[in-house]
Amino acid sequence: MILFVRHGETEANRRRLALGRADPPLTERGNEQAAAVAHRLSSIGVSAVYASPLLRARETAGKVAELAGCEVVVDDRLVELDYGDWDGRSFPDLPPEELARWRDDPSFAPPGGESLRTVTARVAGFCAEHLEGETVVAVSHVSPIKCAVTWALGAGEELGWRMFLDLASITRISGRDGHASLVGFNDTTHLIPD
Would you please indicate which residues are annotated as catalytic (active-site) residues?
7, 80
Tallying the residues shown for the chain, one arrives at 194
What SS3 class is residue 173? strand
Q: Which helix (H) or strand (E) holds 103?
A: helix 96-104
Residue 186, phi-psi category: left (phi > 0), alpha (psi -120 to 50), beta (remainder) = left
- Quote the strand ranges of the chain, DSSP E: 2-6, 48-51, 72-74, 136-140, 170-176, 179-187
What SS3 class is residue 6? strand
